[in-house]
Amino acid sequence: MVYMLSALLFPLLPAATAAEPSLQTLAARVQVLEDWESIRKLILAYGTAHDNRDYRTFANLFAREGEWVSGMGSAKEPDAIFKLMDDMVGHNSKPEGSGTYHLLSNENIAIDGNYASAVTKWVYITPDANGAPGVTILGHYNDQFIREAGQWKFLRREAPMDLPAGD
């Protein structure tokens, strides 16, 4: 009896109400979430490549016109970024980790089509003379991103220090 009643009433209900989002709106919302997660993974890949001293991977996280700016110097375009890091830190990749750790948090990502920006906090931890972890530097990243060939890349990454380690 309930089935018959609902079958009779169902055709009388509107297909969608004004409060329900359209398929196009839902697709756009899902795209923003996917973009946000891709950018978050890019931010984390940067920390991993840096800690593993894998500066070829590090440099390839930047767009063709990408720029990296830090206290170590600055460079534009992946090959120049690789050279800067290779000259400053070295090229001995350490897949097991170098003993340093970039802790990344509080990413605040804003997406606008094929461009995005973010501010992310970072903590740089290194072993002390006894091998115990110690906070070396605190800072934040100011990022500009671009979707290049379907992938998010750093267009510009600035790495200002907020608190240098004290002696």
Write the CATH number for 37.
3.10.450.50
Residue 9 lies in a domain: no
What's the pLDDT score for residue 16? 52
Non-local (6+) Cβ contacts of 22 within 8 A are 16
The whole-model pTM stands at 0.81
What's the pLDDT score for residue 131? 85
What's the pLDDT score for residue 152? 98
Distance separating alpha carbons of residues 81 and 87, to the nearest angstrom: 10
Distance separating alpha carbons of residues 157 and 70, to the nearest angstrom: 8
Non-local (6+) Cβ contacts of 129 within 8 A are none
What's the pLDDT score for residue 44? 96
What's the pLDDT score for residue 5? 42
User: Count of alpha carbons within 13 Å of 81, Cβ hemisphere only?
Assistant: 27
Residue 19 lies in a domain: no
| Structural domain harbouring 80 | 25-164
Alpha helix positions (H), 61-164:
78-88
Residue 2 lies in a domain: no
Segments in the chain below pLDDT 50: 1-10, 12-13
What's the pLDDT score for residue 21? 83
> Into how many domains does the chain fold?
1
Residue 17 lies in a domain: no
